[in-house]
């Protein structure tokens, strides 16, 4: 058995000391210097070291428990009311932007009154849809994919807080959350321990697993609970506000969460959110955020829905999942627009269901604010469950060997003399040479990529060769390449040349959204490009669009609008577009009502390798049918499409009860 290195022993002792300090602060002093998730991550690292070097284990060493969850199948029920997902907000700025969008849309609709908002606790359980006929419970179903759910009527009937008969003999459909109390989980885990079984991990997973049990007696024994929050459909007139709707639901006999508030503006919303981020642990149920809704029903109707979510509501989430890891290096990355982004290279770690080895540090100011150094132990989280973000440095773990990062004055990859400059009014730095070779290469790589023109046989290696030999200087040059030009290049065979020219010819017809993506307009990503293409339909309309017009588009904020206007106003860019239009034809998007498309409102996550098409092709087909593609699995995911070698996303889907499609089932669905 190998002997532990000195550095490993030092690391282990630091971990033990730090964990004990944080545990004391949390459990004795009732303070929270770091999240429980981050503390668990430190414990996991400690266990990994002890597993590798058993001689280092001591009786007082910390430990943790891991548990699984059940999943069953039921017959399907088609929802009579579409089940929408909510967009998420994670910061105060996000909620301010939401408020501005709401007011802008109301103004455009001719509504001059100022909206108010209801704030309700976002219960972390399993969504259910209940249908009543003449006041009697007829059907209970899970959300499923938003169109079809699982029939769990017999199980829901065992939940004491769900009325079998309403106070009024009305026909209605209501929506709410089924959950298990923390105390009930504690009692169940005592029984598990007596039986010699592993404890259940958390009440959310156990509630989801319980509601899918085939035996209603088992469901009754586990004593699930519920909160109802929405009257989705009724044969009687709906209340004129969300606040009155909650009171009406309570009058009908439903259990309504009492902790909701009417807020007159953004500051009151933020105050409510801050209050419950601190107080959430005091309740007997899990709370993962606050749902903010426009209170007035007439305003909700005026705002309507996007393809996937209501415009009048948003989920204001609490902090994301967190883990700890070590910063092994910090490097600079040059983007397509010349902006320099510091990137932390991390000891690989799993967070929110995926393995992460890099995290953006955003800019120089962020490095200084965090005081992050090479060698530091840091808390990492996924902002929005997607983007890796370092939120805190654990200075308690420092040994004195950490190295501070020195921001450079010159970056050779910028070209020329390598000078860099700070962008006026921003925290970002960029290359002074706006046409650096590194930057131009990245733009060309992006231009021919699957997300843009998708020129199959013109990848990075061929782009490098074309640039090195002076055959291309801007994007349009790709389409004017001649066979003789390419055959003159080293190691270029006739078949390779023919393949390149055939791919280039195919790319002369390009969908409008991918044309926009190809231009490398700062701040404009794939989703924004699709929104712009759908809104304007033609390039000429986008080129002429004013700041105010762009700003009014849902999903396009001030920064993006300003960037688009400035990009098209630049004479160099105008010339670039003009040359491209001499070579290519833009295909305008078909005008279709989002709600009429077969996958409207459905969210897909792709994992593993598909044999008949790649992920980009699969994503394009999903979007063409009205669906959306996400990079992470959540309880709002409609389907996970699992190919060969499916990874942690598949496991997450099973854990959350998200339907999983194999390639054959997916192909049937998109046909």
Q: Let me know if 62 is exposed, middle or buried by CB neighbors in 10 A (0-12, 13-18, 19+).
A: middle
pLDDT at 182 over 70: yes
- DSSP for 473-509 reads SSGGGGGG--HHHHHTSTT--HHHHHHHHHHHHHTTE
> Per the structure block, which two tokens stand in for 427?
């925290």
More confident residue, 383 or 95: 95
CB-CB contact of 325 with 379 (8 Å): no
> Per the structure block, which two tokens stand in for 557?
């904020």
> Per the structure block, which two tokens stand in for 138?
């007829």
Q: Let me know if 491 is exposed, middle or buried by CB neighbors in 10 A (0-12, 13-18, 19+).
A: exposed
Query: What is the residue whose two structure tokens read 């509501």?
Result: 313
Task: Tell me the C-alpha distance between 203 and 189, whole Å.
Answer: 11
Sign of CA dihedral 552, 557, 560, 563: positive
The DSSP call for residue 582 is T
> In which element (H, E) is residue 330 found?
strand 322-334
β-sheet bridge partners, residue 358 = 345
The average confidence (pLDDT) of the chain is: 83
Quick check: do 322-412 and 511-587 share a fold?
no
- Those residues whose C-beta lies under 8 Å from the C-beta of residue 670, and which sit 6 or more positions away, are 599, 621, 622, 625
The share of the chain scoring above pLDDT 70, in percent, equals 89
Expressed in percent and rounded to 5, the helix, strand and coil fractions of the chain are: 40, 25, 40
List pLDDT tens digits, range 243-280. Answer: 999 999 989 989 999 999 999 999 999 999 999 988 88
> Per the structure block, which two tokens stand in for 430?
């960029």
Query: Does CATH number 1.10.287.610 belong to domain 6-56?
Result: yes
Confidence grade of residue 314 (pLDDT, cut at 50, 70, 90): very high
Report helix, strand or coil for 150. Answer: strand
Task: Tell me the C-alpha distance between 620 and 511, whole Å.
Answer: 11
Task: Tell me the C-alpha distance between 20 and 34, whole Å.
Answer: 13
Q: For the ranges 35-39, 224-228, 333-337, 479-483, which has the lowest average pLDDT? A: 333-337
Task: Tell me the C-alpha distance between 85 and 97, whole Å.
Answer: 19
Task: Tell me the C-alpha distance between 573 and 215, whole Å.
Answer: 66
Report helix, strand or coil for 60. Answer: coil
CATH superfamily of 322-412: Nucleic acid-binding proteins (2.40.50.140)
More confident residue, 230 or 646: 230
Does the annotation mark 122 as catalytic? yes
- DSSP for 277-317 reads HHHGGGSSS-EEEEEEEESBHHHHHHH-B-SSSBTTEEEEE
What is the CATH topology of the domain spanning 511-587?
DNA polymerase; domain 1 (1.10.150)
- Those residues whose C-beta lies under 8 Å from the C-beta of residue 60, and which sit 6 or more positions away, are 16
Calculate mean pLDDT across residues 570-582: 88
List pLDDT tens digits, range 206-224. Answer: 888 788 777 778 888 888 9
Task: Tell me the C-alpha distance between 443 and 538, whole Å.
Answer: 23
Region of residue 418 (phi > 0: left; psi between -120 and 50: alpha; otherwise: beta): left
| Per-residue pLDDT at 270 | 94
Can you list the alpha helix ranges (DSSP code H) found in 124-265? 153-156, 182-194, 203-211, 216-222, 242-252
Nearest Cα to 610, choosing from 578, 644, 653?
644
> In which element (H, E) is residue 119 found?
strand 117-123
List pLDDT tens digits, range 584-634. Answer: 999 887 665 556 688 888 888 888 878 788 776 787 788 778 887 776 788
Provide the whole-model pTM.
0.44
Sign of CA dihedral 400, 54, 66, 386: positive
Confidence grade of residue 65 (pLDDT, cut at 50, 70, 90): very low
Query: Does CATH number 3.40.50.10950 belong to domain 437-507?
Result: no
Q: For the ranges 190-204, 222-236, 279-293, 554-568, which has the lowest average pLDDT? A: 190-204
Task: Tell me the C-alpha distance between 501 and 37, whole Å.
Answer: 53
Number of other CB atoms surrounding residue 113 within 10 Å: 9
For residue 150, which phi and psi values (nearest 5 degrees)?
Answer: -100, 135
The DSSP call for residue 238 is P
Nearest Cα to 561, choosing from 519, 528, 607, 602?
528
Task: Tell me the C-alpha distance between 448 and 455, whole Å.
Answer: 5
Q: What's the alpha-carbon Rg for the chain, to the nearest Å?
A: 28
- Those residues whose C-beta lies under 8 Å from the C-beta of residue 395, and which sit 6 or more positions away, are 371, 376
> Per the structure block, which two tokens stand in for 193?
């321990």
Calculate mean pLDDT across residues 456-483: 81
Task: Tell me the C-alpha distance between 43 and 41, whole Å.
Answer: 5
* CA-to-CA dists, residue 400 to 28, 62, 395, angstroms: 29, 25, 10
For residue 179, which phi and psi values (nearest 5 degrees)?
Answer: -145, 165
Catalytic entry in 16, 69, 122, 621: 122
The share of the chain scoring above pLDDT 90, in percent, equals 26
> Per the structure block, which two tokens stand in for 232?
């989705």
CB-CB contact of 180 with 142 (8 Å): no
Calculate mean pLDDT across residues 384-405: 84
Confidence grade of residue 435 (pLDDT, cut at 50, 70, 90): low
Confidence grade of residue 64 (pLDDT, cut at 50, 70, 90): very low
Q: Where are the domains of the chain?
A: 6-56, 76-317, 322-412, 437-507, 511-587, 594-670
What is the CATH topology of the domain spanning 76-317?
D-amino Acid Aminotransferase; Chain A, domain 1 (3.30.470)
Task: Tell me the C-alpha distance between 297 and 272, whole Å.
Answer: 22
Helices (runs of H) and strands (runs of E) counted in the chain:
24, 26
Q: For the ranges 69-78, 141-150, 314-323, which has the lowest average pLDDT? A: 69-78
- Those residues whose C-beta lies under 8 Å from the C-beta of residue 34, and which sit 6 or more positions away, are 22, 322, 379, 392, 394
The CATH architecture one would assign to domain 594-670 is: 3-Layer(aba) Sandwich (3.40)
List pLDDT tens digits, range 498-513. Answer: 888 998 999 899 999 8
Q: How far apart are the first and last CA of the chain?
A: 57
> In which element (H, E) is residue 579 found?
helix 571-581
Task: Tell me the C-alpha distance between 71 and 209, whole Å.
Answer: 5
Instruction: Give how far the C-alpha of residue 251 lies from the chain's centroid of Cα atoms, to the nearest Å.
Output: 37
Instruction: Give how far the C-alpha of residue 72 lies from the chain's centroid of Cα atoms, to the nearest Å.
Output: 27
* CA-to-CA dists, residue 61 to 5, 28, 36, 43, 284, angstroms: 19, 18, 17, 9, 30
| Per-residue pLDDT at 73 | 52
| Per-residue pLDDT at 470 | 62
Calculate mean pLDDT across residues 452-458: 87
Q: Let me know if 180 is exposed, middle or buried by CB neighbors in 10 A (0-12, 13-18, 19+).
A: buried
CB-CB contact of 34 with 392 (8 Å): yes
Sign of CA dihedral 550, 551, 555, 557: positive
- Those residues whose C-beta lies under 8 Å from the C-beta of residue 612, and which sit 6 or more positions away, are 663, 667
Q: Let me know if 223 is exposed, middle or buried by CB neighbors in 10 A (0-12, 13-18, 19+).
A: middle
């Amino acid at each position: 058995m190998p002997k532990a290195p000195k550095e490993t022993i030092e690391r282990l002792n630091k971990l033990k000391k730090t964990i004990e300090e944080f545990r004391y602060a949390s459990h004795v002093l009732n303070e929270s210097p770091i999240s429980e998730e981050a503390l668990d991550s430190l414990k996991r690292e400690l266990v990994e070291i002890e597993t590798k070097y058993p001689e280092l284990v001591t009786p007082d060493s910390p430990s943790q428990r891991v548990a699984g969850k059940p999943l069953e199948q039921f017959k399907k029920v088609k929802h009579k009311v579409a089940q929408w997902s909510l967009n998420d907000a994670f910061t105060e700025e996000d909620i301010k932007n939401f408020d501005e969008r709401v007011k802008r849309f109301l103004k455009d609709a001719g509504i001059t009154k100022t909206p108010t908002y209801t704030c309700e606790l976002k219960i972390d359980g399993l969504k259910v849809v209940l249908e009543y006929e003449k006041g009697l419970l007829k059907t209970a179903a899970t959300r499923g994919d938003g169109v079809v759910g699982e029939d769990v009527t017999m199980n829901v009937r065992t939940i004491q807080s769900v009325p079998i008969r309403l106070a009024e003999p009305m026909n209605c459909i209501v929506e709410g959350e089924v959950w298990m109390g923390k105390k009930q989980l504690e009692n169940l885990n005592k029984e598990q321990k007596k039986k010699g079984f592993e404890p259940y991990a958390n009440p959310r997973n156990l509630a989801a697993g319980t509601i899918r049990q085939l035996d209603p007696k088992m469901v009754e024994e586990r004593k699930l609970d519920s909160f109802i929050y929405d009257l989705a459909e009724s044969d009687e007139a709906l209340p004129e506000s969300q606040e009155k709707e909650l009171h009406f639901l309570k009058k009908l006999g439903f259990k309504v969460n009492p902790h909701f508030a009417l807020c007159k503006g953004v500051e009151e919303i933020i105050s409510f959110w801050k209050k419950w981020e601190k107080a959430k642990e005091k309740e007997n149920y899990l709370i993962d955020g606050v749902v903010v809704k426009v209170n007035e029903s007439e305003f909700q109707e005026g705002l309507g829905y996007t393809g996937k979510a209501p415009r009048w509501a948003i989920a204001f989430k609490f902090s994301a999942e967190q883990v700890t890891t070590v910063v092994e290096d910090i490097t600079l990355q040059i983007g397509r627009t010349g902006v320099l982004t510091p990137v932390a290279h991390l000891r690989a770690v799993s967070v929110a269901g995926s393995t992460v080895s890099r995290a953006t540090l955003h800019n120089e100011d962020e490095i200084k604010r965090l005081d992050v150094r090479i060698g530091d132990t840091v808390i990492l989280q996924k902002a929005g469950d997607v983007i890796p973000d370092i939120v805190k440095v654990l200075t308690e773990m420092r040994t004195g060997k950490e190295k501070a990062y020195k921001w450079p004055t010159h970056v050779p990859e910028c070209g020329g003399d390598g000078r860099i400059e700070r962008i006026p009014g921003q925290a970002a730095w960029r290359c002074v040479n706006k046409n650096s070779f590194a930057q131009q290469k990245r733009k060309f790589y992006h231009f021919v990529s699957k997300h843009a023109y998708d020129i199959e046989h013109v990848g990075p290696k061929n782009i490098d060769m074309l640039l090195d030999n002076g055959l291309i200087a801007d994007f349009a040059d790709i389409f004017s390449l001649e066979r003789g030009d390419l055959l003159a290049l080293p190691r270029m065979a006739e078949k390779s040349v023919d393949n390149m020219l055939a791919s280039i010819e195919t790319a002369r017809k390009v969908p409008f959204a991918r044309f926009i993506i190809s231009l490398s307009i700062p701040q404009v990503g794939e989703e924004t490009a699709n929104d712009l293409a759908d809104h304007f339909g033609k390039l000429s309309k986008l080129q002429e669009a004013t700041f105010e017009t762009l700003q009014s588009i849902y999903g396009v904020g001030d920064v993006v609008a300003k960037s688009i206007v400035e990009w098209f106003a630049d004479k160099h860019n105008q010339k670039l577009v003009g040359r491209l239009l001499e070579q290519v034809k833009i295909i305008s998007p078909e005008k279709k009502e989002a709600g009429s498309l077969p996958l409207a409102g459905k969210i897909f996550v792709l994992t593993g390798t598909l044999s008949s098409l790649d992920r980009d092709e699969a994503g394009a087909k999903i979007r063409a049918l009205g669906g959306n593609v996400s990079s992470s699995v959540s309880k709002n995911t409609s389907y996970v499409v699992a190919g060969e070698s499916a990874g942690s996303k598949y496991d997450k889907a099973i854990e959350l009860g998200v339907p999983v499609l194999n390639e054959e089932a997916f192909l049937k669905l998109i046909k």
